[in-house]
Structure 1
C-alpha cells in the first residue's frame, strides 16, 4: 500500500496496472496485463517453489525477457543481490530507502541502466563475509532461518536434499559456524531473513 501511495503521488506519470500478494498472483497478473516495469518484493508468500526468491525472478525473466524488474527488499546480502542481478533484475532498492531512492531507480531502469540502492552498493563493494556465499548458499541460509526444513527447501528449489544439505554445510564452513542455532542467529543479524 505504501508503494502504491508513493507512485500515485507522482500524478499521471505512472499507471498501476495491478497488484499481487503472492507469486501465483504475480504470474497470473503478468499473463493478462502488459506492463512496462515490474516492481516486486524478493520474498513472496506461496507454496510453489518457483513463486519466491531467485526462482521467481528467473521465471519472470524467462516468461517476460524484456520486462525491467525492480526488487524492493530488506535483504542486503551481497550473494543474494548478485543472484538477483544474475537472473536479470535491473534494480534493487532497500525498503528503508524507498522514499528517497524509488524514483531514481525507476528513472535509471527506464534509461536502460542498472540501479542498486546506496546501502546495497556499499555492502557489495565492502565485500563482507556473506559475499563469500554463493547465491544458492545464501538462499538456503535464508530459507533455513525462516524455519524451512532441508527437505522442503529441496522441494521448493527443485534440488536434491543432498545438494541442499551440502550447500548448508558449505555456507556454515565459509561463515565459520558450528550449528543450526549459530546459523539462524547469523542469518537474523545479517539481513538474510
Structure 2
C-alpha cells in the first residue's frame, strides 16, 4: 500500500523533529520534506505533491507569501487537492474559526500530546475534519453577542486611524507624532480596538485584519 505523503513546515527545529518522528512512527505516512519558511513550503508542495501538509501558523514569511491567515488562505486556494493541518499556539475563538472557515482540515495546538497528531492525521486522511479538544480563551461579551461586522463597525474613526497606521508597520510613538496625539492616547486606542475585535495579541490583530480585510 502506498504511503500517504506529508510535508512539514515549522521554523522551530525541535518542533519539526518531534512531529516528524511521531508521524513516521505510524507506517501509513511518509514525510517527504520539511520547510522552515513559507517560501520553502511552497517549493516542497510543488516538488512533492503531498497529500497532507502540516504547517505552523506563524513562521518566517516573505513579501510574496507572508504567514498567518494570509499564508493559510493562499495555500488552501492554490492547492485544493491538499489537506492542511495547522499547528498553532493560539486558542482564540475568532482566529480558530477563521482557519476552519477558509478550508483547513484541522487545527492542532502545540501544547497537545504529540500522539494527537496521528489522531488528527487519521481523521483527515479519511476525508474528515479534525476539531480536537481546544481549551479556548473566553472571548469577551462582545464576541459572544456580536458578529464580525458589528465588532468592526464598533471601531471609532480615531481608533481606525491608529489601526490603519499600525497595520502599515508604524510604531505607536510614530503614530502618536503623525496624528498629533499623546503616546498614551494612541496606546489606549489600540488596546480598545483589540478589545472590540476580541483579539489578544498583535499577531492575532494582524491575522484578524488580514482575514476580514479591515482598514
> Looking at CA atoms only, which structure, 1 or 2, has the larger radius of gyration?
2
Deviation at 1:14, TM superposition (A): 1.2
Whole-Å Cα distance in 2 between the matches of residues 131 and 67 of structure 1? 35
Equivalence for 2:116: 101
- Answer whether contact 2:105 2:130 (CA < 8 A) is retained: yes
Match of 2:83 among 50, 64, 68: 68
Distance in 2 separating the partners of 1:97 and 1:54: 21
* Pairwise CA distance, 1:115: 1.0
Unaligned runs of 5+ in 1: 138-147, 154-167, 177-182
The runs of 5 or more residues in structure 2 that have no matched partner are 1-16, 153-164, 171-189, 206-215
Contact map agreement 2:51 2:81 (CA 8 A) in 1: no
Question: Are the aligned partners of 1:77 and 1:131 in contact in 2 as well (CA < 8 Å)?
Answer: no
Give the counterpart of 2:201 among 168, 187, 190. Answer: 187
SS at match of 2:30: coil
Deviation track 1:48-94 (CA, whole Å, cap 9, x = no partner) reads 26330111111111211121100111111111111111221110111
Partner of 2:167: 150
Match of 1:87 among 102, 122, 129: 102
CA contact (8 A) 1:49 1:55 kept: no
User: Structure 1 116/24 Cα, relative in aligned 2: closer, same or farther at 3 Å?
Assistant: same
Deviations 1:124-144 (A, max 9, x none): xx8622982849x8xxxxxxx
Query: How far off its partner does 1:173 sit?
Result: 5.0
Residue 21 of structure 2 aligns with which residue? 5
Aligned pair partner of 1:34 in 49, 57, 62? 49
Task: Determine if contact 1:91/1:115 at 8 Å carries over to the other structure.
Answer: yes
Structure having the larger proportion of residues in helix: 1
